[in-house]
Structure 1
């Protein structure tokens, strides 16, 4: 019960980080003003327009580009199906709630019946292969434990570095962006890009800018922080976690992750290393038993 409530409490506090951001976005949408958006983009679009006219790229009167942008924005927002968006949100929320309840139920009984799954599997193993199966289970559990502990350390380091860096450069909702980046980093290779993209979107939607240079400076700050985080992750954290924890060559990890992406998409990338570790250790142990102890008799 204690372990279960600690996990639930941890997830609850993570959710609290996103409530202020979601509330701010709802307020922005509720007070949305087309004229304000038009004023925000008028200056950068005007510079592009002056450049095109100056170098004779287009033959039009001044003001043509901003007029087209305004008309396109109005047309785009008039085509938005708000009823469809609401239905999608409701369906997604229902699916997430059902999945959360299922995971919570399964997690509780796995914690309550500690070792139940392992005992049931071991009961299916013939006596001739019992010792080999026990050795395989122990090695798989040890490697997966090392991998999960290392993954937790990686997420903690990424969250700490990203939150500290974003706070120092003055980005709002630094903790929320850092937490999203840390969780997104569970997706190998694509996770850092998702984290940086989320940071830029949050910065653009919540910041206040006087000129277009302020926008560019904000984007540079966010990308700079995530660049430092990514270099640290690639040089220090990933080699230590992925290679040493599961005793596999980095090239193996690279191929396995892309194979997982091909088979099952994002979920395949997340679970590729644990699944590969189970199969690799099992195969090596049984192959060792076949060569040294002749456990298979034909």
Structure 2
């Protein structure tokens, strides 16, 4: 009995320490979390290569080499362009602010003449003041951000390699800590969570990449300024369910109106975003994402709102895997109590 209680205590303590460490030591925990997510995405490919007669270490090495080759080359090529575009944005903000002020004054005069209603412009000044502050903050933190990226480019592949190579040993060591009374349920939840989260992240990565590539290539062909950043923003915001595409189109709409006004060029930009999102909603999402995480749309929307409230943009991105995990855990808890009562 004492051994059983001791095992429960140790298991609970490790879980608590894991959660506390994740939030209190983000510089250490985030690379580990990213490595674990990469492991979940890449792990299904390992047995496929070992079935061809390759040893596990060789299979893992081939997978990691392929991933690094595919990912590092675009990063090296695109990083200087992104850095340059971010620096140029600060000089573009006054032009954007001037355009918005002119449009606002025209709307204000129209409403005042027709309805005697006057709009308050303090919110516009506050918004642009916030925007300037954020851009300045990004520029000041850019060297630190690039240093973090380089650090992650070294740590994440290394940790991912060890997780892939020693996955069975790590799993066995971790599962030994699980008390026997909950082992079966825990193992099932652990296995299902790994599969769901890995499949979801991989599917969302492919979906976001397709949308980002379509928009980036289209904007480059249309010779639109900041095309790389706009395409990257569209890809990142696309990860956020429902509201993501809308968030992605806002900067493009503002830039397009400021640069081109209500012209065919601006119309072409909006059509490009519309086509990209139609392809996403009509083809990519149903094929890749919808069957992986079976959540009601209301649950998804509430999850996004809660995620944004507590963790900002990061919360909006990770809210769906967390909601799916909670759903799975609650279902198993319900089954456990139902079986006990039966």
Give TM-score, length-normalised by structure 1. Answer: 0.64
> RMSD of the TM alignment (CA)?
4.5
Residue in structure 1 matching 2:174, options 101, 121, 124 = 121
1:9 and 1:132 map into 2 onto residues whose CA distance is 39
Q: Provide the residue aligned with 1:217 in structure 2.
A: 264
The answer on whether the counterparts of 1:4 and 1:111 sit within 8 Å (CA) in structure 2 is no
Residue in structure 1 matching 2:277, options 211, 220, 230 = 230
The answer on whether the counterparts of 1:257 and 1:272 sit within 8 Å (CA) in structure 2 is yes
Superposition map of 1:230-269 within 5 A: 230-238=277-285, 241-269=288-316
Superposition map of 1:101-180 within 5 A: 101-163=154-216, 165-166=218-219, 169=222, 171=224, 177-180=230-233
Q: Provide the residue aligned with 1:291 in structure 2.
A: 338
2:138 and 2:85 map into 1 onto residues whose CA distance is 19
Q: Provide the residue aligned with 2:63 in structure 1.
A: 3
Residue in structure 2 matching 1:270, options 317, 338, 341 = 317
Cα deviation code 1:117-160 (max 9, x no counterpart):
43333112222332222222232233223323422331243135
Residue in structure 1 matching 2:73, options 13, 17, 25 = 13
The answer on whether the counterparts of 1:243 and 1:249 sit within 8 Å (CA) in structure 2 is no
Q: CA deviation at 1:249?
A: 1.5
The answer on whether the counterparts of 1:242 and 1:250 sit within 8 Å (CA) in structure 2 is no
Q: CA deviation at 1:286?
A: 3.3
1:146 and 1:88 map into 2 onto residues whose CA distance is 33
The answer on whether the counterparts of 1:192 and 1:230 sit within 8 Å (CA) in structure 2 is yes
1:108 and 1:279 map into 2 onto residues whose CA distance is 29
1:199 and 1:117 map into 2 onto residues whose CA distance is 46
* Structure 1 SS opposite 2:292: helix
Cα deviation code 1:11-58 (max 9, x no counterpart):
3233223534655787x79xx9xxxx99xx99xx8xx99xx9xxx9xx
How many residues align? The count is 256
Structure 1 pair 223–84 and aligned structure 2 pair: CA distance change class (3 A):
closer
Larger CA Rg, structure 1 vs 2: 1
Structure 1 pair 117–279 and aligned structure 2 pair: CA distance change class (3 A):
farther
Residue in structure 2 matching 1:183, options 200, 217, 236 = 236
1:106 and 1:134 map into 2 onto residues whose CA distance is 23
Give TM-score, length-normalised by structure 2. Answer: 0.57
Cα deviation code 1:212-256 (max 9, x no counterpart):
66x843333222211222244345444555542112222211211
1:86 and 1:151 map into 2 onto residues whose CA distance is 29
